[in-house]
Amino acid sequence: MSTTIEKPGAQPAPSIRAASTPGRHGQPHMRIPPLIRRNTILLALTQAFVGMGNQTTPTLAPLIAVQMLGSATLAGVGTSILSLSRLLVAYPVGWLTDRFGRKAGLMLGLVLSLLGALVIGMAMLQNSFALVVVGLVIFGMGVGAGQQLRLAAADMFLPARRGEGLGYVLTGSLVGAIAAPMLIYGSELLGQRTGTDRLSTVWFLMPLVIVPSMILVLFVRPDPKTIAQNLSHYYPGYVAPAITKAAAASSGGFRTWLHHFPLMTGFACSFAAQGVMTMMMAMTSLALDHHGYSLSLISMSVSLHVVGMFGFSIPLGRLSDRLGRRNMMLGGSAITALGSILVPTSPEYIVITTGTFLVGLGWSCVNVASSALITEVVAPAERGRAIGLSDTISSSASIVLPLAGGPLVEWAGLPALAVVALAVLAVPVIMLSRLRETSPGEYANA
């Protein structure tokens, strides 16, 4: 088997290695320039605002459905719409960021989020559930476009510290998840004072979060894509190693990526981790309620799950840089599998909560490592579409598996979820066992 490194695109990316270089990725100890640090802080703050949107929709959408329809039948429609919207927008916004830069895609996402929030607020005042659905679709597309933030972060870092850079920005999601309840609480107080509906008020307060995000993105200079294409300019002394073999195809794109084993392994890991994570997140509340635990305890368990998803992004990113993307995804898959066994098979609160935390932690390992892998085997001019394709694939899993979870529990009981989770995770684990990572971030296209 050849150990020559190949890239699924037309032009070589500086992050692809043909042979080992001194240290990790050639120059692992180079400092992060002040400009990169500033941009990273701006993107992390923007990610915090995007995280608030992620948290607000599943929290409020079920309440809106019950209030407007008088039934819990469509209580899960908000989460499903959010996942579907991400699926629809992921690849197109990736094309946009490849063509016009990462900031263009991020600004589009924020504009859509702003428009969607206002539409939902107006729909609530008009008591139109159909218009609420339209607003949720628009808002979900905006949140989906915001997923390109992690690409913007990866673009600005050398391969040796790319996982760390991803970790900085992804940690912003934890801040957003913590701040979302504060926004909701503030809307309740405002609604009481003004006599307006509490569920509509929060959407009208969203511009207070989204508009500052737009300003933050404007201050990100230069565009992260430009930095990715000129790393040696921003990291004086950095020299990208030469590539000893031409790319696998004369032009990149979907067909080329399907034949690139490291990239397909990253896609498969994202699909499995995202699908199992969303299925377990949806079923954790069911499992805890089934065993008679209170809403406050259920809420605490879900919060710990979110901490697992984002709270350790920085150390996990650094571990990914040191141990390699393959090892990190293997570890993340194993952690997710363990959590998926604990959640549906035990009646004990501490065991279920530990399980849902581990599922979130395993997802974080895979998310950081797979995102870094994509940026290492795809040139900057195509990374947006590659990340978009990965998000499309993983979003499909987050739609199908949670929907299948409910009927499965009715038919075979909660423990059946563990069997499904292990089966879904088995395929990427087999692929990872065949992936050759000659050194952290350096792959052989077997």
- CA-wise closest residue to 64 among 55, 53, 74: 74
Specify the CATH architecture of the domain 1-15+249-446. Up-down Bundle (1.20)
Alpha-carbon distance of 112 to 423, in angstroms, equals: 37
**More reliable by pLDDT, 206 or 255:** 206
Mean pLDDT value of segment 31-60? 85
- Which helix (H) or strand (E) segment holds residue 356: the answer is helix 349-377
d(CA 71, CA 53): 24
Nearest-10 crossing angle of helices 198-205, 34-69? 160
Distance CA 244, CA 224 (A): 27
pLDDT-derived band of residue 444, with 50, 70 and 90 as boundaries?
Answer: confident
440: left (phi over 0), alpha (psi -120 to 50) or beta: beta
Residue whose C-alpha is closest to residue 67's, from 56, 59, 75: 75
Instruction: Please report the pLDDT score of residue 295 as a whole number.
Output: 59
Q: Rounded to 5 degrees, what angle do the CA atoms 45, 388, 32 make? A: 40
Domains 1-15+249-446 and 27-240 share a fold: yes
More confident residue, 61 or 138: 138
CATH of domain 27-240: 1.20.1250.20
Q: Is it the case that residue 386 has pLDDT exceeding 60? A: yes
Chain position carrying tokens 């107006």? 122
For tokens 């629809």, the residue is 88
* Higher pLDDT among residues 138 and 82, named by residue: 138
Lowest mean pLDDT among 53-62, 397-406, 429-438: 53-62
Residue 90, helix vs strand vs coil: helix
pLDDT at 233 over 70: yes
Domain ranges of the chain: 1-15+249-446, 27-240
The pLDDT score that the predictor gives to residue 156 is 96
Q: Tell me the pLDDT band of 10, cut-offs 50, 70 and 90.
A: very low
Residue with more model confidence, 429 or 176: 429
| Cβ atoms < 10 Å from Cβ of 438 | 15
Asked if residue 140 lies in contact with residue 50, where contact means CB atoms within 8 angstroms, the answer is no
pLDDT tens for 184-201 read 778 878 878 887 777 788
Tokens representing 229? 């294409």
Q: Which of 428, 119, 420, 439 is nearest to 267 (CA)?
A: 428
